[in-house]
Chain A
Amino acid sequence: MKRFAASELFHSFRHNRSAMIGAAIVAMFVVMVSIGPWLVAQDPYDVAQLELMDSFKPPVWLEGGVPQYLLGTDGQGRDVLASIVYGSRISLFIGFTAMLGSCVLGAALGLLAGFYGGKLDSVIMRIADIQLSFPSVLTALFLMSAFGTGADKVLIALISVGWVVYARIVRGSTLRESQKEYVQAARVSGLPNRKIILRHVLPNVLTPLIVVATIQVGTFILIEASLSFLGVGVPITEPSLGLLIKNGFDVLFSGLWWISVFPGLFIMLIVFGINLLGDFLRDELNPRLK
């Protein structure tokens, strides 16, 4: 059945142009972050490779631009394109890791809440409600100011913001699936709850989880960018795309627009690609929309 579903999914994928565009964009980013550092000439964070003389060079097609720096340079003579390649690595890493982390945490809590119900359910879901009533950036901002900066702390902040969505979705599906007779059959078979949850409930609540997880990567990249832009995200030594925007922001109104705008465009592009893919998966995997 797996092969069958995969081929059906692949078939509709082939006939969905926006899904293919989304996949192409994501694939491009994956290639960029995996082999990009070997393609660009400069490591922007190796001070020895920087030429202060080359600072504030505009993109190559503008007057004063040099072919060496396609998208121009910043105040320290860092190649903007090279910074974007390195920054995308950090942004994507944080986005995917935060997604995986909050997916696992949220799914586990959602399964427990939905399966056992009662007080456990009330406690978990009330925490989730409280969490949801705060804007996620605000919560993350608060956590970051408490923990301090750093990629690991950004991850903790994002996961503690992001698990809620998964928990709610998984709880809803778990409630529905747990009522079904196959779960009762498993109980009659003498399966302990742990096995019922892992073998019977979890595989049947995965589909909506996959859809949300996809879109959430984009959201996490955006939140991380916002945090870094506000100065509480990643430190200057491991700059993400958001931090690049912030660095360029200081000189944005002096006409040196390329330092901020190009990283911004790349964030837009990756989130756009991920969302196109997510929309496709949502339409395809949701039986009600078929």
Chain B
Amino acid sequence: MAPLLQVHDLQQRFDASGGFFDRLRWRDGRLSAPRRIVHAVNGVSLSIGRGEVLGIVGESGCGKSTLAKTVIKLHQPTGGRIVLDGEDITGHDFARMRPIRSKMQMIFQDPYASLNPRQRVCDIVMEPFLENAPGKVRDAKDRALALLAKVGLGPEHADRYPHQFSGGQRQRIGIARALSVEPELIIADEPVSALDVSIQAQILNLMMDLKDEMNFSYLFITHDLSVVRHISDRIGVMYLGFMVETGSTEAIFDTPKHPYTRALLAAAPVLGAPLAAAAEEIRGEVPSAFHLPSGCCFRTRCPLAFDRCAAERPVLRQQGDGQAVACHLHDATAIAPTLEANA
């Protein structure tokens, strides 16, 4: 069966140069108005099957959230293709997106900003449903109560306003809102990162229980490796808008191949384990998304970088078992760096 969501070579660039007068520069005796382009997502491909959880991990600012918001068409992608349930929705405008909205919903990062402070909870959770199924207003209240019950909130909460709830409860409301149209895919953009650690597990378990019950898929964005390990079937590792490694959760955690993935796993503290070897430590800062490095995006920080890394941009190559890596070190056809050094 075809996967539920397929994303091919998705690109998202933003013009961050501002108005004409902000761009105006005097350079080399000439007036010019250069544009500043943020390369947020640079050719990401992924696919999610029905009932599957794909976790996307990466540092802050690596384009994970932009990827999520582009897939759900909050941003119009600048390149690539998004295919949901066999339908290419890349170029869909607002009107053509409307029937799609009930297939794909989103859970947001900040439970304090994602609920309208002037709306009652029952109105918040029913909004997607009423917008997509007009005319069924009569049983809306009952549906709202059923939804709230599903996420662990009582009927007494329905008429309250968001500010009367804690962060965890607010996120439950956000989840109920996403569920109101019974979507097939839920995009969760760091849904627990703004919550207390003690609440995170509750919300994650709720999200997984709901998935098992209603059998939808997740595109789960997070920077927390323990979270992604806990919930994902497959994992994609992002760096600077590129997907550097994908594979099953076991493969990524047991046999990470990309130097960045290894460094990421080594940097995560594990209870009871000795601190990671210094060799896997990455130094320096993430390069600016305004000026991407040539070749491999990770070469500026990679301890194993060699000549080819600056010259050629690596693409994801299958390594067997569904694991794929974008790294010249794992390109079987290439000359290994040690050989090159000897030559």
Residues of A participating in the B interface, judged by any CB pair closer than 8 Å: 1, 122, 180-182, 184-193, 195, 199-200, 203-204
Contact = CB atoms under 8 A, between A and B. Distances in A.
B161 A185 contact: no
A181 B127 contact: no
A122 B127 CA distance: 32
A43 to B, nearest CB: 47
Contact of B127 (A1, A186, A192, A204): A186
Interface string B12-40: 00000001000000000000000000000
B105 A188 contact: yes
A182 B164 CA distance: 17
Contacts, number: 64
Contact of A190 (B98, B109, B114): B98
B106 A185 contact: yes
B113 interface: yes
Contacts of A184: 69, 74, 106, 108, 114
A192 B161 contact: no
B110 interface: yes
Contacts of B116: 182, 186, 199-200, 203-204
B106 A191 contact: no
Interface in B57-78: 69, 72, 74
B118 interface: yes
Contacts of B155: none
Contact of B97 (A185, A190, A204): A190
14 contacts: A1-B164, A181-B109, A184-B69, A184-B106, A185-B115, A185-B174, A187-B74, A188-B101, A188-B105, A191-B127, A200-B116, A200-B119, A204-B117, A204-B118
A272 to B, nearest CB: 33
Given A185-B114, A200-B116, A191 B131 contact: yes
A200 B115 CA distance: 10
Of B74, B102, B118, the most chain A CB neighbours within 10 A belong to B118
Contacts of B98: 190
Contacts of A186: 116, 127
Of B119, B160, B163, the most chain A CB neighbours within 10 A belong to B119
Nearest to B100: A190
Contacts of B102: 190
Contacts of B72: 188
Contacts of A191: 127, 131
Given A188-B101, A189-B127, A190-B98, A182 B132 contact: no
A185 B108 contact: yes
Given A1-B163, A184-B74, A189-B105, 8 more contacts: A180-B114, A181-B109, A184-B69, A188-B101, A189-B177, A190-B128, A190-B132, A204-B118
Given A189-B101, A190-B97, A182 B114 contact: yes
A180 B119 CA distance: 15
Nearest to A189: B128
Nearest to B94: A192
Of B109, B113, B115, the most chain A CB neighbours within 10 A belong to B113
B175 to A, nearest CB: 12
Contacts of B108: 181, 184-185
A123 to B, nearest CB: 13
B192 to A, nearest CB: 15
A122 B115 CA distance: 30
A182 B162 CA distance: 11
A188 B131 contact: no
Nearest to B159: A1
A185 B105 CA distance: 9
A200 B118 CA distance: 8
Of A180, A193, A200, A204, the most chain B CB neighbours within 10 A belong to A180
Nearest to B123: A199
B106 A188 contact: yes
A189 to B, nearest CB: 4
Nearest to A181: B114
